[in-house]
Amino acid sequence: MQSSRNLASRPAEVAGTVTLRNFIAGDWAAPGVELSNDVTDSNTGAVIIRQRGSTPAQIATAVECADAAHRSGAWSGMRPQDRADALTRIGGALDDVAEEIAHSDARSTGVPIVNTRTLATVCGAAFRTAAALTVEPDLVQREANFEVQRLPLGPAAIIAPWNAPAGIACHKLASALAAGCPVLYKPSEWAPLSGQRIAEVIARVGLPNGVFQLLHGDGVTGGVLTSDARVASVSFTGGLEAGRAVAVACAQQIKPAQLELGGNNPLIVLPGADLDAAVEGIVTALTTLNGQWCRALGRLLVHKTLVDDVLEATLRRLENLRVGSSLDEATEMGPVVHEQHRQLIAVALDTYRKKGGVVHMSGKLPGGDGWFVLPALVTGLAPEDALDEVFGPVATVHEFDSVAEAVQLANMAPYGLAAYVFGGAEDAYEVARQLESGTVKINQVTLFSPHPEAPRPAWKLSGIGEEGTHETFEFFRGSRVIGVPQGIPG
């Protein structure tokens, strides 16, 4: 296997702070643009590192190298088993640094270490899962006069979010590499530390030159990447407005975009629901990843006979919620990612108050200077005034009188990523089958999908190009049909 250059050198670390470096054409180099914001420790507000971006020249060099790698077949033309072995080695090496990745993401995003540790285990697992797909034959069908092949589309841009940066990135990277595509990886500028570590691990394994490259930066770097005609596909997870910009760039070049853009997800509590289970589900959906979760609870829809009991019980449970440092093993909810995001949540609550909403909070904020907020439930709003995503631990509460009204309220938002239904099994499934949502979970809220092999679809403004073990792998491939034309049958 052809190895990248300078693999023995690792970007310098000074006093535990990573110096951000791009990995382009087999070499480490400083990103050439200093951005205006800092990555901070969400628990204290202390600066960890200044954000950095890539210059147009650096991006152009990376794309040219990825395009050359694709056209040479240095990776896609390798024996499938050899590619699978390389991905397996990456998976094992990521396992070795999983705790470091978890710690980095907990500091920069505020997500509790118990959650980032779980998500960090996804990194190695994603590469091992992708390795198993790599050995599947590219020739998917052969008849007497024709054959169908599945082939890598070409260089893939992987743009990761800040809320679960490591696990999401590794799923995309592993899938694209398994499909035979060179990858251009841009971590979020708000959570670049785990991305840096992931890149170091992949670089050490020694893929052919140009098959894996790292470019730090913000939306400007992402925009240049997605607009380059040599980039054959883009997989993006992030906010709606940035996703729209990616979609426009890809549409202009008629190239595939895989977009997961968030949601304002409903949780429905039907008559006959187990209230203890419903309340635990509400709290989990409201506070997982500190509410910075595309599948978080946005709108709590409760039958009118249960509203008072559900609200009271949920606030009582939140009163005992352990809000604290993301590095504390006992923390259930940490701080939000940065001060600007804390202010965004405050503005959203003020807007709800001005529209007649009553904000309910319980619990206690820890001392210190971190970006802490308390979870909030908001009553008294008209449903049409609560359709936008806050992306924080905030949910509006609405009552309904009938199943038909519950379905109508759930479906009126322009998003369709996730939904939750609590009630008797038969009633819950009946409601679930009427919801305009990619995933509907019954009587439980969890961070992961109902089944490891299940797709993760996104409806409406929540995105296009569903993800999943097989779905993301196939996103980076296209079909080619070769054969002798046949006469019209009959």
Indicate the helix (H) or strand (E) that contains 298: strand 297-303
Give CA–CA dist 268/283, Å, rounded: 13
DSSP reduced 3-state for 68: helix
CA nearest 315: which of 378, 389, 380, 383?
A: 378
Residue 440's Cβ-count burial label (10 Å; 0-12, 13-18, 19+) is buried
Q: Distance between CA atoms of 126 and 472, rounded to whole angstroms?
A: 11
CA distances from 400 to 74, 269, 308 (A): 59, 10, 13
Element (H, E) at 340: helix 339-354
Pick the catalytic residue: 294, 389, 399, 467? 294
DSSP state of 20: P
Q: How many CB atoms lie within 10 A of CB 21?
A: 21
Cα distance between residue 393 and residue 362, in whole Å: 12
Q: Is the dihedral of CA 129, 132, 137, 138 positive or negative?
A: positive
Q: Is 64 a catalytic residue?
A: no
Tokens standing for residue 218: 């913000």
Instruction: Residue 71: name the closest of 63, 82, 79, 80 by CA.
Output: 63
294 as an active site residue: the answer is yes
Core vs surface per residue 192-216: b (16+ CB within 10 A) or e = bbbbbbbbbbbbebbbbbbbbbbbb
Which is the catalytic residue, given 189, 200, 260, 389? 260
Could you tell me the two tokens for 34?
A: 């200093």
Alpha carbons 477 and 400: distance in angstroms, whole number: 45
User: Identity (one letter) of the amino acid at 266?
Assistant: P
Beta-bridged to residue 40, according to DSSP, are 47
Q: Which residues participate in catalysis according to the annotation? A: 260, 294
